[in-house]
Structure 1
Amino acid sequence: MCELLGMSANTPTDLCFSFTGLTQRGGKTGPHKDGWGVSFYEGKGVRSFHDATPSATSEIASMIQGHPIKSKTAICHIRQANVGDINLANTHPFIRELWGRYWVFAHNGQLESFSPKNGIYEPVGDTDSERIFCDVMNYIRAHLPRNATPKQLAEILVKLAQGYAKQGVFNCLLSNGDWLFTFCSTKLASITRRAPFGPARLTDADVTIDFESETTPNDVVSIVATEPLTSDEEWHLYKPGEWKLWQLGEVIAHGQATI
């Protein structure tokens, strides 16, 4: 299985601390060595990096850890290949354009025999994850208006996620830069950091940070990951079928789907 990392914040925030912890699981403290990728929203633009090598030893990943790219929304993925070859085309997150915005998607799980319906969005690689993403985008384009609200989108996304989860394992992160949708099929965790901020220590690396010295009293930063990244903070563990829609670091809609 792969691992996910997402961020939603009310102010541009760097992902260096969490990203450093996650990358260690890509071939050092974990088996997810078959490539990685990360996408940072900057306004309506996306700064995206992908590499088919293990994140724990990737020079590109090392560069990102030392270069504080600030974003309100970010999605990261480290891959343990189940379906599809190990190459750049198969590394998440995947990106497509819809209604004048870039949509970014990352998936943890497997729907081995999944076949998407025909539409204008087609996969470039040969993973089930990208086929699912194209299916999502084609369905949204066909069934929602351009000015759909985040909560209208969430209703459709939950319906689709339920269907995918009944076919296999489907944990996902999806964003268009304005919101971040998260769905748990088997495993997902989240934490929201706000004042008063304190220190935190990574589980997978000997790194500690004092968030108070890095933030302002008005900052709200939420992190979503497959498993908790720190050893001294209280994370919320999603239940199977639980979903949340995040915006500016806060949950604006949530629910429990039957899967």
Structure 2
Amino acid sequence: MCQLLGMNCNVPTDIVFSFTGFAMRGGRTDTHHDGWGIAFFEGAGVRHFVDHQPAVHSPVATLIKTYPIKSRNVIAHIRKATQGEVALENCHPFMRELWGRYWVFAHNGDLKDFHPALDGPFRPVGNTDSEQAFCWLLQELRRRFGDVRPALPDLAAALAELVPQIAAHGTFNMMLSDGSALFAHCSTNLYWLVRQHPFDTAILSDEDMRVDFSQVTTPNDRVAIIVTQPLTTNERWTACATGEMLCFVDGLPQKNIFSTAVPSEMSK
């Protein structure tokens, strides 16, 4: 299956270190060689890069590893195709507009007998189950909340209802963001950690590279990394439970947001 990488921070941060190790799994240390992609939120905009070539051979991936683009929310994906041919239109992450904001989505897994009725403006361009799921999620969010973006607790409540309906069709590890928060759902494998003061040295597991983060950060920086499999050998990663939903804001998991979220009047 595919692999996911996400980053959520309280200050704009580059993902060069984590992406360098992650990209090695796109054809060198693992078999995810059917394309890749990454999206960086910057203000109201998104820098969106996809390539159907394996990440280890892609000149675009080389650019990302050498160009320290800074962002507070990043979603990346390396693909091992299960549905849909190897083609640019089937590379994650996917991006759409809703409520005047860009939304970015990536999925790891395989959905069986998933054929949602799509009757709104969100339609797949490629032929993956992942893009269908993304379009259906946005369609149902717009159906519930109309043209006004809900508050974060209401959005969390809606996703907590909608995501399990997709996950019932198979494996649905996913990441979703509109640049203000990063949501993730675990079906099988998902790990996370938070790097904050006092920072230490991290050592990649897929590449001979280490970084002493105390030399490149300030005491106020905080960075959450979410990934399919741990990227480093010397850090303590937290494994997500099956069916667990997560929401990260400013580099921290919002642990109570799903249990305390109250649906808005429109979603009742």
Category of TM-score, reference length = shorter chain:
over 0.9
Query: Equivalents in 2 of 1:253, 1:93: separation in Å?
Result: 25
What is the aligned counterpart of 2:163 among 161, 164, 170?
161
Other-structure match for 1:199? 201
Matches within 5 A, 1:20-39: 20-39=20-39
Other-structure match for 2:77? 77
Residue by residue, what CA displacement relative to the aligned partner does 1:177-201 show, whole Å, maximum 9, x if unpaired?
Answer: 0010011011100000000000000
Residue by residue, what CA displacement relative to the aligned partner does 1:111-143 show, whole Å, maximum 9, x if unpaired?
Answer: 132112222210000000000000000000000
Query: Equivalents in 1 of 2:182, 2:19: separation in Å?
Result: 17
Alignment RMSD (CA, Å):
1.1
Residue by residue, what CA displacement relative to the aligned partner does 1:206-245 show, whole Å, maximum 9, x if unpaired?
Answer: 0000000110000000000001000000000001011111
Other-structure match for 2:143? 142
Matches within 5 A, 1:1-259: 1-118=1-118, 119-145=120-146, 146-254=148-256
The SS at the match of 1:86 is coil
Q: Which moved more, 1:135-144 or 1:115-124?
A: 115-124
Query: Equivalents in 2 of 1:245, 1:42: separation in Å?
Result: 19
Query: Equivalents in 1 of 2:178, 2:63: separation in Å?
Result: 25
Query: Equivalents in 1 of 2:21, 2:5: separation in Å?
Result: 10
Query: Equivalents in 2 of 1:252, 1:168: separation in Å?
Result: 26
Q: Report the TM-score when normalising by structure 1.
A: 0.97
Q: Which runs of 4+ in 1 moved over 3 A?
A: 253-256
| Aligned-pair identity (%) | 47
Following superposition, the deviation at residue 250 of structure 1 comes to 1.2
In structure 1, the gaps of 5 or more residues are none
Following superposition, the deviation at residue 19 of structure 1 comes to 0.3
In structure 2, the gaps of 5 or more residues are 260-268
Residue by residue, what CA displacement relative to the aligned partner does 1:129-173 show, whole Å, maximum 9, x if unpaired?
Answer: 000000000000000251311121111112111111111000000
Matched length: 256
Contact 1:110-1:168 at 8 Å conserved across structures: yes
